[in-house]
Amino acid sequence: MQAEQRTDPLAFHGEGPVWSPSWGGLRWLDMFAGDILSLDGDTVHRRHVGSMVVTVRPRRAGGAVLALQRGFALEDADGTITELGDLWSDPLLRLNEGGCDPDGRFYCGSMAFDQYTGAGSLRRLHPDGSVEVVLTGLTISNGLDWSPDGSLAYYNDTATGRVAVFDYSAGTGLTGLRSFVEIPAESGFPDGLTVDSEGGVWVALYGGSAVRRYTQDGRLDAVVEVAASRVTACTFGGPNLDELFITTSREGLDDGEEPLAGSLFRVDAGVTGLPVRAFAG
């Protein structure tokens, strides 16, 4: 499959696309600019929310939960944003990708700006506002999403070159970390991911100009080619959740190199996605 360009190259580092009817469709991020982008027909709206914004998910009560550079924030239904405080003081670390589990808890990983090995961790924000560390020793904590029945969670620590999988339950959380798919470096590095209604896992390949779909047994099933090498994340959207939206980045590129990098792309996926899981807080 070949993805089509959906917007101009508006983002320096496009990331984190999410479709939610509660906010009228698609949002994605211009991460280092601290901006949330939203699509209204062919018009893109931009809202600045902080020095950096790395993840956004809807809240069950309306609004959104945000991960900023070093902490979480809550957006109310009227757009008011309340920051919950920094999780650490070290300016060399930042939050990165995340998502909500089937029980409404919000997870977000961290990493060092220089991608120092093992400096990152994975944190869980509970609906009552408490935060706990659930995984340490990570390098580039990235895509996270759950299987349709919620019993498995797929996860990327980009530096490992693999898509990993956990067992999941409300009581024990993420357990049994193991490899799901190994991706050779020449194909790109696993970045964001999403899971479809059949249990297929769609993985954005940073440096690979593609999104790959793997079946539940780890077999490569489909490849979406993208006219930009730095493919960062993907999500299902559209009224029927049958469009795959794909974000890309210009980070590290020279002026004039890869002119479509930073654009939002889309493709008819041939399968439907799952409704986004929302934060219960």
CA dist 11 and 249 (Å) reads: 7
Of 245, 246, 248, the C-alpha closest to 229 is 248
Catalytic residue among 101, 145, 191, 196: 191
**Cα 168 from Cα 9, distance rounded (Å):** 37
What's the one-letter identity of residue 87? L
Residue in 71, 96, 91, 92 with CA at minimum distance from that of residue 81: 71
191 flagged as catalytic: yes
162-169, strands of its sheet edge to edge: 141-146, 152-157, 162-169, 173-182
Both tokens of 228, joined, read 């930009």
Q: For 123-127, which contacts have Cβ atoms below 8 Å and span 24 or more sequence positions? A: 123/87, 124/173, 125/65, 125/72, 125/84, 125/279, 125/281, 126/281, 127/279, 127/280, 127/281
Known catalytic residues are 191
